[in-house]
Homo-oligomer: A and B are copies of this chain.
Amino acid sequence: MPTASPRPRPTLRDVAATAGVSKSLVSLALRGDPGVSESTRDRILAVAEQVGYRPSLSARTLKQGRSMLLGVVISSLENPYQTEIVASVEDAAEQVGLSVVLAHGSRDRGRLADRVQQLGDLGVDGLVVVSSWVPDEVLTAAARRLPVVMVGRTADPVAGVDSVTNDDEQGAALVVDHLVGRGYERIAHVTSSTRPAGLARRRGYEDAMRRAGLGDHVRVAAPDAVDGLLDDGYRAVFARNDVEACDVLDRALDRGLRVPDDVAVVGYDDTLLARRVRPALTTVQQQREVMGERAVALLTGRLGGRTDDVHEVLEPRLVVRASG
């Protein structure tokens, strides 16, 4: 099949030549400059369309020093929590005329760091990092050349890097209070994480238990130790995220227990999974749309000249469903 070969793509100069004007004028016309007469503008646009002209972003970026691109880094595409944040960042970016390019690290820490570098080299105007796996030194290095904001689960603040996070301790407290309100006392926490967010949730759980006078019942277990909890008479399990909550759910159902009649199960994150599973999970929702919006606002703030670090903390919300 005689397909068009990789012909050199037409440039401003080509358009200018066939339209019989200077390249400067073509540039102005294409960008809608008011100083171009209507007739020539129309002619130029027609020619550009006809020869299939498309501007070269690399040339534009090189000249202007900015790309109108936002980089978003996530650790894994398989993490619905992260991908939902990406979508919200993207919506917010579009509002202010920025486009998003996405990079991910497939669970590999080194690869993630490479991606961050790469996006910087590409010339993005700002970076949104939705992963706590990026090493601090990589973040600070990145922050030296462009605005960086961490979104979601964050570690300790990194100098020069803004952040938008969720109050995980409060979220955990919401769960405990809810379960206590329903009369549960033996409430266990299931977690496999030693990451900052996981630790914060655990802390929130322990503190809330103590506040409720249930300090003696505090019990933290790994996901694969659920059987032990159930054997010991725990009637409610708060898992560190929806995925682990589902594992608990499966385990309980396998033992012939009814949820929530025999045992209550609560998750965290309100991912799609929470809605899909049966019974649907009670879980904690973070304001993901707001997160994206705030992240973009922080970046544009930096681009506008702000130099002090800003850390925003959003309030989580409990979503009560069938599981507890």
Contacts and interface: CB of A to CB of B under 8 A. Distances in A.
Interface of A: 1-7, 9, 52, 54-59, 61-62, 67, 77-78, 80, 83-84, 86-87, 90-91, 99-104, 106, 117-118, 120-123, 141, 143-147, 159-160, 246, 250, 253, 272, 276, 278, 302, 307-309
B307 A3 contact: yes
Residue of A6, A146, A159 contacting most chain B CB atoms (<10 Å): A6
A300 to B, nearest CB: 13
Contacts of A118: 99
A265 to B, nearest CB: 14
A1 B160 CA distance: 8
Contacts of A147: 6
Contacts of A146: 6
Given A2-B307, A3-B160, A4-B160, A56 B253 contact: no
Nearest to A99: B118
A250 B278 contact: yes
B57 A59 contact: no
Nearest to A140: B4
Contact of A78 (B1, B83, B123, B278): B83
B272 A253 contact: no
A308 to B, nearest CB: 6
B106 A87 contact: yes
Nearest to A107: B87
B57 A123 contact: yes
Contacts of A1: 159-160, 307-309
